[in-house]
Structure 1
Amino acid sequence: MSDSTDHLIEPTADERAELEQLRLEVARLRATRERRRVGWRPIVSTILIVLGCILAPLALASVWVHNQISDTDRFTATMSPLIRDPAVQAAVTDRVTETIFTNVNVKAIATDAVGALAAQGVPPAVTDRLEALTGPLASGVQSFVHGRVANLVASDQIAQTWDRVIRVAHTQAVAVLDGSASAIAIQGDKVVLDLAPFIDVAKQQLASDGLTIVNRIPEVHPTIAVADAAGLVQARSWYTASDRLATWLPWIAIVLLAAGVYIAQHKRRALIGAALGFAFSMLVLAIGLAIGRTIVVDAVPSRSAAPVSAAFDIVLRFLRDGLRTLFAVGIVVAIGAFLAGPSSTAVHIRQGVVKGLTWLRSRSGLRATGLGKWVHSYRVALRAGAVAIAVLVFLFLDRPSGLAVLLIALVLLVVLAVIQFLDAPGDRPAATG
């Protein structure tokens, strides 16, 4: 009976071949069904993430542009260092000195003076020697004036005057662009200037000079046309557009990236790809700025290259700081998502850290039974709280830098390591003999 049963159980070679063929067919059908089931998700997820990465640098640039246009404090902070830069100061000094001596010919004045002396009967031996000194005299005077102008341009007085001028000019420009300037208005196809403020000043001045009869003049608002309205209308349209882009474009980029990660079948892998793509988009923006800097500097004469390059770096420094910060955020998020994933490398790294902390705890002689159990019971909440605090610190920092992002990530790793170090559910009081 046993022999017959064994004979029935053992398949023949043909049966084994048929069974293997059926297995291959089932595997093929399963693979086909799997591809059909998830085929749209990776495509849509990839499209959304790519769009988000493309819009990210555009969103950063739009926010920077809008801040420069609408925020007087930010504009002043951006432009204030210009007059304090040595290369810009040297260029201003040269230009001012050149302008002075374009209108004042020291050598010609000295030559005229020598001629006047000769006309008064001064001997030719004396006037000839004086004539030979007119060139060095002109050069010396120019050097003296250049030095005094350089000292003036580098003084705090000029720097403070520069700050006041750009602040007032920007405030007035913003008032015109957003329509809050009461003295500037559009009537028909012309931009008109209301002369009432000027009349009030004139009345005050005349009254202080004794002509009090001007106080009888009623409040009037005469206007004069100063420009065509088309240019101002276009400028206001650009101002409104920049405001909307700066408001909505960052959120659109964030929503696209988040949606791409959410609908992905492998969310952790999608998060890593989105973070790396986000960081890469910041790198592309940095490369574009570097190329633009080269083009701008190469387009000016060599003597102007130094001040132009310095001005370019100063004006765009906040934009560069922003892209460095976002680049660091993308890299930190990508590394964090990778280390928290199921890949063998990430698992080995986590296991190595846990083993190292366990060994360190055993070597330290720590025996905190209650603390270890408490930390073990709330370890998930403690880790989530540490991550949340790190995110809040980043969000509430005023203009966080890339270095600040790396420091926050480093402190977070230390806090997580401390939580792991204290996580000791098996702690027991040491036996006493």
Structure 2
Amino acid sequence: MTEPTAAETDTTVIQPLREDERAELLRLRGEVDALRKAPRRRRVPNWKAVAAGFLITLGCVLAPLSLLTVWVHNQVANTDRFVATMSPLIEQPSVQAAVTDRVTDTIFGYVDVQAYANQAVDALAAQGLSPVLVDRLHSLTGPLASSLQGFVHDQVGTVVASSQVRAVWDQALRGGHEQLNAVLSGNASAISIVAGKVQLDLGPVITAAKQRLVANGFTAVNAVPDVHPTLAVGDAQTLIKARSAYNTLDTVATWLPWVTLVLLAAGVYLARNHRRALLNTGFGIATGMVVIAVALFIVRGVLIDNVPSRSAAPVSDSYDLLVRFLRDGLRVVFVVGLLIGIGAFLAGPSPTAVHLRAASNRLIVWLRRGGAKAGLRTGKLGGWVHDHRVPLRAGVVGVAVLVFVFLIPPSGLAAIVVALVLLVCLAVIQFLDQPSPGAQDRPTGTGTA
């Protein structure tokens, strides 16, 4: 018996295409050929994505400019901040020497010691003192006046270098800065301008020096009236010309930070991927702060290189003193931007972020099991937290933001501490987030869970 062939066993019969099927096939082939031959259309970018990228970039550029503007405005218009910045200058030896010389010269402008001594010798001569002794005493009045001037200079120097002079110095700075603000705001009559220089009132220092000299027995200083000598602190002509810039600065410093925040928020809102936009925003702000910090370092080096070597130390100290509040602000904004970027990164789909979230979740699960073995049960609290977990998380984030905003003064370390406390609070919410027993068996609508 022979085996059947393949042709004999194949019972499949291929039916020919009907006319309508053949026509449909030909139509589809034509469409495919037309699509293959047609030029590819350029992909039109999404206007929201373009707008989001532009707004975020512009906001990141304006962030360091906003910080610089606010810092300059505080130094120019905020008397309290100016005094806090410049108050330590009185501790610099060069400043102490200048103030001491100016106060001493003012005192001896009203107290002519040599003239008083000559009057005393003439009075003795009128009483019959020997002419030889009169001549000798007259010859001693000059050295006496010089030695007394040295004594007064030392006493004034002691006053200037004492801890009590800080309040006096601050008062002088405050009065001078208020007068400078009057010039910038257009009220030039409120300030003393001599030879084109803005003069700082040293009247309070004179008063303190008189009190100390009287306490040491030099009562002749009472002849000095209530005077207000001045010390040149700047070019008044330049300040007067800066009135328009002052008004502009006041407006820009008030609105630019808010405009920057609105631009960044709008950019994140319009972005297709909010998390990625937030990540770019945080790291962009941090990068801007680094750029400003590098620029400050370069400016410091240029200033030191352009002064004599003997003045390098005072110039560097004064520069560091002047920009210290700006550096503090840079650190704070840098840390905040970095934390925002890191938070957005950890919430993303990257393998590192996924592994970190999985590890933290395993840790929380392990803690739950340990608590269960120890008899710890969340009960109704766990179910309530599970039902309200989203508003609870939003609430702790909002509280953390408010705490940082109202910190006085804010700092980079404070931002890190607030972020760590926020993570702990979120972990506690995650730990307590346990559905109530039987929650999965409850009916939902017309069906079952």
User: What TM bracket, shorter-length normalisation?
Assistant: 0.5 to 0.7
Measure, in 2, the Cα distance between the counterparts of 1:420 and 1:326.
29
Deviations 1:124-154 (A, max 9, x none): xxxxxxxxxxxxxxxxxxx999987764443
* Contact kept? 2:179, 2:191, Cα under 8 Å: no
| Alignment coverage as a number of residue pairs | 328
Partner of 2:432: 422
- Taking a change above 3 Å as real, the CA distance of residues 70 and 98 of structure 1, as seen in their structure-2 partners, is closer
Deviates more, 1:252-261 or 1:318-327: 252-261
Q: Give 1:46 shift.
A: 2.5
Matched, 1:307 2:307: no
Measure, in 2, the Cα distance between the counterparts of 1:5 and 1:83.
108
Measure, in 1, the Cα distance between the counterparts of 2:14 and 2:402.
70
Measure, in 2, the Cα distance between the counterparts of 1:150 and 1:410.
50
One-letter amino acid matched to 1:4? T
Relative to the length of structure 1, the TM-score reads 0.66
SS at match of 2:43: helix
One-letter amino acid matched to 2:419? A
What RMSD in Å do the two structures reach over aligned CA positions? 3.9
Q: Give 1:316 shift.
A: 0.9
Partner of 1:324: 331
* Contact kept? 1:62, 1:245, Cα under 8 Å: yes
Partner of 1:376: 386
- Taking a change above 3 Å as real, the CA distance of residues 406 and 175 of structure 1, as seen in their structure-2 partners, is same
Measure, in 1, the Cα distance between the counterparts of 2:342 and 2:367.
25
Q: Identity, % of aligned pairs?
A: 52
Partner of 2:126: none
Measure, in 2, the Cα distance between the counterparts of 1:2 and 1:348.
57
- Taking a change above 3 Å as real, the CA distance of residues 346 and 232 of structure 1, as seen in their structure-2 partners, is closer
Partner of 1:70: 77
* Contact kept? 1:367, 1:427, Cα under 8 Å: no
Matched, 1:263 2:270: yes
Measure, in 2, the Cα distance between the counterparts of 1:152 and 1:6.
116
Partner of 1:159: 166
Deviates more, 1:388-397 or 1:250-259: 250-259
Which of 407, 411, 414 is equivalent to 1:401? 411
Q: Give 1:165 shift.
A: 0.8
Matched, 1:351 2:358: yes
Q: Give 1:231 shift.
A: 6.1
Measure, in 2, the Cα distance between the counterparts of 1:427 and 1:6.
62
- Taking a change above 3 Å as real, the CA distance of residues 231 and 44 of structure 1, as seen in their structure-2 partners, is same
- Taking a change above 3 Å as real, the CA distance of residues 297 and 360 of structure 1, as seen in their structure-2 partners, is same
Measure, in 1, the Cα distance between the counterparts of 2:90 and 2:51.
51
Measure, in 2, the Cα distance between the counterparts of 1:81 and 1:417.
45
* Contact kept? 2:90, 2:96, Cα under 8 Å: no
Measure, in 2, the Cα distance between the counterparts of 1:167 and 1:96.
16
Any unmatched runs of 5+ in structure 1?
9-14, 102-119, 121-142, 186-228, 429-433
Measure, in 2, the Cα distance between the counterparts of 1:303 and 1:271.
49
* Contact kept? 2:99, 2:160, Cα under 8 Å: no
Matched, 1:80 2:87: yes
Correspondences of 1:43-192 after superposition (within 5 Å): 43-84=50-91, 88=92, 90-92=93-95, 151-179=158-186
Measure, in 2, the Cα distance between the counterparts of 1:59 and 1:308.
26
Q: Give 1:235 shift.
A: 2.4
Measure, in 1, the Cα distance between the counterparts of 2:330 and 2:406.
18
Q: Give 1:408 shift.
A: 0.8
Structure whose residues are more often helix by fraction: 1
* Contact kept? 1:94, 1:146, Cα under 8 Å: no
Measure, in 1, the Cα distance between the counterparts of 2:320 and 2:237.
33
Relative to the length of structure 2, the TM-score reads 0.64
Q: Give 1:2 shift.
A: 9.4
Q: Give 1:314 shift.
A: 1.3
Matched, 1:360 2:367: yes
